[in-house]
Chain A
Amino acid sequence: MSLVKPFDKLPTLNAATILLVGTDESQQQQLAEAILKEKKTFKINIHVATSLPLPAERDHIRPRIDLIAFMINMQSKHSLRNVEASLSHMDANFFLGKVCFLITGVGRMNHCSVEMNAVRKLGNLYSSPVLFCELDSEGIRAATAQRLLRMLQICAGHMPGVSALFFSSLMKSSIDE
């Protein structure tokens, strides 16, 4: 069992790593494909996990993780509980801008079993941005991929003058308004 830490390894040159945590593997696959389709100037590693902690035996070959996106499906209470359980296996420093909650399935509000308030509270509790998206729609999927990519670029330190903490503070104040 290994606790993920934001700065436990040296970064890989010209590369960034995102970790998608969620119960729905097909959605993770969809999103990963969308991210890889986007134009980018650096190498991108996408790691997927159903839950944290990550297995310890492969820790030495895993690159430094720059951004963790927790995927919560609005139609599944299980996905929310899974994410909540995973959150306790993280180094607190991650919450300084390197975590975001990706809420999927918001396009069909009448099928929601997870309350909107619950995910908002989660984002508030961990001071992390909450992104809403509908992965079934191609346009929104691409837009979400672009957003994640941009966040990843910042979190990996590829944007001079903008730190992950600074960016997440910006996001937070814009959400609170």
Chain B
Amino acid sequence: MSSYQHDLAPTITSNIVCSVDAKEELLDECEEIWRQMEECQSKLTLLGIETLPESDAQLSLLMMRVKALTAEYNQWQKRSPEIISTNLDVLVALGKEELQKVDHDLEMVLSTVQSKNKKLKEDMKREQQWLDEQQQLVDALDVTHEEMKNQVVQFSEQRALQELKSKMLKIRAYKEELLSALGEFLEEHFPLPEDESAKKKKKSPAEEPTVQLVTLHEILEHLINKLMSTPHEPYLTINDSFWPPYVELLLRYGIALRHPEDPNRIRLEAFHQ
């Protein structure tokens, strides 16, 4: 409001005191107009009542409208603009009144525009704030995005390798554990027939075994290695180092199979297939 204050029109003072003459003149004019109206009225009352016909009401109504509009048109054509009053005082008073009205209207417009401006400014501020917030959000998201990108690279190279390594270590340890447990089991329950051979040695030193016997553990290892390294040729030839009862044991319990044509060769049952 303050920025416009100096532009505002000065208040119009209606301190004019209408002269008695002017008032008289105006009243006379009004009387004259009223007399004219009364004349018209008396003419009008002579007119009968017009009612719309039942049929074609619209048409007759439209005809009436045409007539009336034409009459009005002619009236406007004939009419010449007339001054309300020739009295100067009256004109000045009227002009001031009119100016005051305009002034009032303009002030209303001004205050409306100002309030609208204020509202627009507030809207603008709010929108700007919103925009800033959104921008910040975008920035933050960009940063996060960059970080994520780097992390993805690290994941694929280092972390995956590390994970695989640790898994491998675990599995290896577990394998060692299993192997040693199985080895212990075999050594405990399937020992080499040392006692017997020692007795035999004592009894008949001539029959000294030419070959050193291998343990069941070693037989199994040979069989497994053979099957794993040369799957197309998994057969192992039985030699003297294999103690026959153990071979028999393996064959009987289906751990090993004899070659269908050569009885001296055995293979491990394909448990892994």
Instruction: Please give the residue numbers on chain A whose beta carbons come within 8 Å of chain B beta carbons, in ascending order.
Output: 3, 5, 7-11, 88, 90-93, 95-96, 124-127, 163, 165-166, 169
Contact = CB atoms under 8 A, between A and B. Distances in A.
B49 A91 contact: yes
Interface of B: 37-38, 41, 44-45, 49-52, 57-58, 60-62, 64-65, 68-69, 72
Contacts of A92: 50-52, 60-61, 64
28 contacts: A3-B49, A5-B49, A8-B44, A8-B45, A10-B37, A10-B38, A10-B41, A11-B37, A88-B52, A90-B51, A91-B49, A91-B50, A92-B51, A92-B60, A93-B50, A95-B52, A95-B61, A95-B64, A96-B65, A125-B58, A126-B57, A126-B58, A127-B58, A127-B65, A163-B72, A165-B65, A165-B72, A166-B69
Contacts of A169: 65, 69
A49 to B, nearest CB: 18
Given A3-B49, A125-B57, 17 more contacts: A10-B41, A11-B37, A88-B51, A88-B52, A91-B49, A91-B50, A91-B51, A92-B52, A95-B61, A96-B64, A124-B58, A127-B58, A127-B62, A127-B65, A165-B68, A165-B69, A169-B65
Contacts of A166: 69, 72
Q: What 9 A-B pairs are tightest by C-beta distance, nearest first?
A: A92-B50, A7-B44, A92-B52, A125-B58, A96-B68, A10-B41, A91-B49, A3-B49, A165-B68
Contacts, number: 52
A92 B38 CA distance: 22
A120 to B, nearest CB: 13
Nearest to B38: A10
B273 to A, nearest CB: 77
A8 B46 CA distance: 10
B83 to A, nearest CB: 13
B100 to A, nearest CB: 14
A9 B64 CA distance: 21
